[in-house]
Amino acid sequence: MYGLTTAAALVATAGYVLAAPSALVPRKTFQVSQIAKGKVFINGPTQVVKTHQKYAKLGATVPSDAAAAAAAVQSGSVAANPEQYDESYLCPVSVGGQTLNLDFDTGSADLWVFSTVTPSSESTGHARYNPSTSGTLKSGYKWNISYGDGSGASGTVYADKVVVGGVTATSQAVEAATSVSAQFTQDTNNDGLLGLAFSSINTVTPQQQTTFFDTVKPTLAKPLFAVDLKKGTAGSYQFGYIDSSKYTGSITYTSVSTANGFWQFTAGGYSVGTSTTTSGSISGASIADTGTTLLYLPDAVVTAYYAKVSGAKYDSTQGGYTFPSSSTLPNFNVNIGGTVFTVPGSYIKFAPVSSTTYFGGIQSSAGIGFNIFGDIFLKAVYAIFDESQSTPRLGFAKQ
Ligand SMILES: O=C(c1ccc(-c2ccco2)nc1O)N(Cc1ccccn1)C1CC1
């Protein structure tokens, strides 16, 4: 979760069986190296149900437990609605039967909500979760999180039913805020966060809790979620499946390190403008973070980018690079996993900070410790957060 923190800038701040490669029958004698199609586990209960159904005509009946287990194969899709200037995207979630609009954040791992236990002075204008309806207090459990933009929240923990796009977690840790920082109070579109980073950075004590994704993962058709953010209009998140209508071409996968709890990967070369021949490299670790508004890159890359924008400058009062409102910005191209993805210049012309000046969607990651591929990048691609392999991986495809 990381918006802009500057005075004048806009206040802005988720079963496979090894599919033996199809036997290739070469028309001609030539060497074919078979590439495993990737692991495809079959969901056991579904198979049991199918077998019984197949023999139903002979009188077999489907055992109820297998049917129930088969029903547990879930998938679903939920809208991601942009705030003004795409500062963040909010998704409707049912928490204990109450609908709250939450910021799905692949950069954190806590599901926390405004609630009836949040002081009204801090929660006016927000939908609030009432744990007394169906929540079970996890007695003595607490949480406390601070985000890179200086915002934060803390509170107590309940177990309750959480539904996202029809995918149900029957007993999810719901972190009710007893205190939130001013940035959250002020953004009345936002009723809380749904963390989609790795549960290893969940802040609940004395016992760490799982994210919504980790809670439902065993019941999903595929253990993955996909993100289709868009510029200035509603996108969506898919849980348990990839929607092939949401991208063109193929998906390029790249390996992920979970060491810091983030969806962390290594980005390659980059270029500025219409040439997609990339050079150089984007130094340091990078993370895919739906909860961060902008695209934070190494100083050298940012300097090279804004050198192509006349009138651009680093404005310390704004806390970032700005440029004249009349500017036409160049594209930013980045090689990830061998494929070059393009962020259109129009996406990087982020938001006005005055009648004559815009704030840039690309800013420096100096001081953060890693590069952050936030919404400015993610709205240009279809992103797959995939745990279907032996280690997690990120997939990217052109929208
Ligand atoms: O805001 C966060 C952020 C998210 C979660 C946690 C956290 C601490 C403990 C558990 O989760 N700490 C953060 O700081 N950004 C973005 C960011 C931007 C700038 C500087 C630092 N960070 C994390 C995803 C990278």
> What ipTM is given for this predicted complex?
0.94
Q: Report how far apart, in Å, the C-alpha atoms of 273 and of each of 131, 305, 309, 398 are.
A: 51, 9, 11, 17
Question: pLDDT at residue 68 above 80?
Answer: no
Res 48: pLDDT? 57
More confident residue, 18 or 206: 206
Q: Under a CB-based contact definition with an 8 Å cutoff, are residues 148 and 368 in contact?
A: yes
Least confident of 40-44, 164-168, 269-273: 40-44
With a 6 A CB cut-off, is 287 part of the ligand 1 pocket? yes
CA-nearest of 335, 349, 347, 325 to 396 is 335
Per-residue pLDDT of 121-158, as tens digits, reads: 999 999 999 999 999 999 999 999 999 999 999 999 99
Cβ atoms < 10 Å from Cβ of 92: 17
Res 25: pLDDT? 36
Q: What is the mean pLDDT of residues 76-81?
A: 99
Res 29: pLDDT? 34
Pocket test for ligand 1, best of 4, 5, 108, 263 (most atoms within 8 A of CB): 108
Quote the DSSP letter at residue 391. S
Q: What is the mean pLDDT of residues 69-82?
A: 86
With a 6 A CB cut-off, is 104 part of the ligand 1 pocket? no
CA-nearest of 213, 197, 189, 98 to 147 is 197
Pocket test for ligand 1, best of 4, 110, 111, 147 (most atoms within 8 A of CB): 147
Res 52: pLDDT? 56
With a 6 A CB cut-off, is 145 part of the ligand 1 pocket? yes
In whole angstroms, what is the distance from residue 61 CA to residue 83 CA?
Answer: 51
Question: pLDDT at residue 7 above 50?
Answer: no
**What atom of ligand 1 comes closest to residue 289's alpha carbon?**
24
In whole angstroms, what is the distance from residue 6 CA to residue 352 CA?
Answer: 13
- Give 56's pLDDT tier (boundaries 50, 70, 90): low
> What is the CA(375)–ligand 1 centre distance, in A?
15
With a 6 A CB cut-off, is 263 part of the ligand 1 pocket? no
Residue 191: both structure tokens together: 């009723």
Whole-prediction pTM value? 0.86
In percent, the amount of the chain with pLDDT more than 70 equals 82
CA-nearest of 218, 215, 227 to 161 is 215
Question: pLDDT at residue 82 above 80?
Answer: yes
In whole angstroms, what is the distance from residue 387 CA to residue 378 CA?
Answer: 19
**What atom of ligand 1 comes closest to residue 108's alpha carbon?**
5
Specify which residues 105 forms β-bridges with.
Answer: 195
Question: pLDDT at residue 6 above 90?
Answer: no
Angle at the Cα of 116 (from 111 to 120), degrees rounded to 5? Answer: 110
Q: What is the mean pLDDT of residues 321-344?
A: 98
Question: pLDDT at residue 47 above 70?
Answer: no
With a 6 A CB cut-off, is 378 part of the ligand 1 pocket? no
Q: What is the DSSP string of 210-256?
A: --HHHHHGGGBSSSEEEEE--SSS-EEEEESS--GGG-EEEEEEEE-
Question: pLDDT at residue 57 above 70?
Answer: no
Q: Under a CB-based contact definition with an 8 Å cutoff, are residues 224 and 384 in contact?
A: yes
Per-residue pLDDT of 162-190, as tens digits, reads: 999 999 999 999 999 999 999 999 999 99
Res 72: pLDDT? 76
> What is the CA(259)–ligand 1 centre distance, in A?
14
Atom 22 of ligand 1, residue of closest alpha carbon: 148
Res 294: pLDDT? 98
Enumerate the active-site residues.
Answer: 105, 289
Least confident of 4-8, 28-32, 155-159: 28-32
Res 11: pLDDT? 37
With a 6 A CB cut-off, is 40 part of the ligand 1 pocket? no
- Give 65's pLDDT tier (boundaries 50, 70, 90): low
In percent, the amount of the chain with pLDDT more than 90 equals 81
Question: pLDDT at residue 380 above 60?
Answer: yes
pLDDT, averaged across the chain: 89
Res 41: pLDDT? 41
Q: What is the mean pLDDT of residues 380-395?
A: 99
Res 207: pLDDT? 99
Residue 274: both structure tokens together: 């219409």
With a 6 A CB cut-off, is 203 part of the ligand 1 pocket? yes
